[in-house]
Amino acid sequence: MCGWYTLTTPVGVLAEEFGVTGPLPEVSPSYNIAPTQEVAAVLVDSGERCLEILRWGLIPSGADDPEIARG
């Protein structure tokens, strides 16, 4: 899977832009986010938006090895 991107916006600005409530994780700027790295994502939980750290990537349903997500 291909899908590199950057995230350099400060976490407080992200929270304000997306209407995130609750605690904010530490997020360092990154100029080369690649599949399998941990990234900040906005999730909706019980109607509230929160910022969580998730693993970036897509593992196809027929994959025998999760390493296929590395791209």
When divided into structural domains, the chain yields a total of 1
**CB 4, CB 34: distance < 8 Å:** yes
Domain residue limits at 28: 5-58
Domain contains 52: yes
- Residue 68 within any structural domain of the chain: no
Is 24 part of a structural domain of the chain? yes
Q: DSSP for 2-64, please give it.
A: ---EEE-S-HHHHHHHHT--S-------EEEE-TTSEEEEEEEETTEEEEEEEE-----TT-S
Residue 32 lies in a domain: yes
Is 43 a member of any domain? Answer: yes
Model pTM? 0.73
* Structure confidence by residue, pLDDT tens digits, 9-47: 999 999 999 999 889 999 999 998 888 889 999 999 899
Per-residue model confidence (pLDDT) at position 1: 46
